[in-house]
Chain A
Amino acid sequence: NAGVTQTPKFQVLKTGQSMTLQCAQDMNHEYMSWYRQDPGMGLRLIHYSVGAGITDQGEVPNGYNVSRSTTEDFPLRLLSAAPSQTSVYFCASSPYRQATEAFFGQGTRLTVV
């Protein structure tokens, strides 16, 4: 019953450092997405993927890269972290083209100093 697993749960970065937030799901869902959550702004879509090898930008993609080499994994890369990227990041997955809810990971709290 793993569902959607995000690692790490907490991370502190210095400005300019790079890192990858990991997301894995074991439900064979085609659709995966990354959100960032900031106070008063809800969850905003960063990038999403509808299957291996297919990614697209969401609402706030700048400063983030993604790739999807397998159905299970959808990592989010910060190439040069900025304080504005301090946020809580959520990964989600769901079947594609089927009416169902999204399944969320527990989140990664990232602080950039």
Chain B
Amino acid sequence: AQSVTQPDIHITVSEGASLELRCNYSYGATPYLFWYVQSPGQGLQLLLKYFSGDTLVQGIKGFEAEFKRSQSSFNLRKPSVHWSDAAEYFCAVGAGTGGFKTIFGAGTRLFVKA
């Protein structure tokens, strides 16, 4: 069965420091992979997605993610974190033909300290 694992329930980084959020997936076929962000009390916003091609994808707000098939990973990175990045981040895989059914990880809450 398809699944997504985010090993870190929460992470705290200092403002200006780099960030990496981990994501591992389990899916038999070529995966469609996503990162979403949810600010407190808000809905989900798509940060970036990977469907095929270049394994390093760029997203909004200065985020990027790298797809590594050999490690079944799709880690999210940002070189310099801003206080406004404090939020919950969800990794997801699209299952089914065309990846229409989205399966989410449990999320990683990011805290940013001054």
**Residues of A participating in the B interface, judged by any CB pair closer than 8 Å:** 31, 33, 35, 40-45, 48, 50, 90, 92, 94-102, 104-107
Residues of A within 8 A of B43 (CB): 90, 104-107
B31-61 vs A, Cβ < 8 Å mask (1 yes, 0 no):
0101000000011101001010000000000
Q: How far is the CB of A22 from chain B (nearest CB, A)?
A: 16
State the CA gap A45–B107 with chains docked (Å): 15
A42, B100: Cβ atoms closer than 8 Å = no
State the CA gap A35–B103 with chains docked (Å): 10
B1-39 vs A, Cβ < 8 Å mask (1 yes, 0 no):
000101001000000000000000000000010100000
Interface-side segment among B66-74, B75-83, B90-98 = B90-98
* Residue of B6, B94, B102, B104 with highest tally of chain A CB at under 10 A: B102
Return the chain B residue nearest A96 by Cβ.
B100
A43, B104: Cβ atoms closer than 8 Å = yes
Chain B interface residue count: which class?
Answer: 20 to 34
Residues of B within 8 A of A101 (CB): 34, 46, 49, 102
Residues of A within 8 A of B4 (CB): 42
State the CA gap A65–B90 with chains docked (Å): 26
* Residue of A44, A48, A101 with highest tally of chain B CB at under 10 A: A101
B100, A98: Cβ atoms closer than 8 Å = yes
Known contacts A98-B98, A99-B51, A101-B46, then 6 further A-B pairs from the complex at CB < 8 Å, ordered by chain A residue = A41-B106, A42-B4, A43-B44, A44-B104, A101-B102, A107-B43
Among the listed B90, B98, B100, which residue makes an inter-chain contact with A43, where contact means beta carbons less than 8 Å apart? B90
| A45/B103 contact (C-beta < 8 A), A98-B98, A106-B43 known | yes
A42, B106: Cβ atoms closer than 8 Å = yes
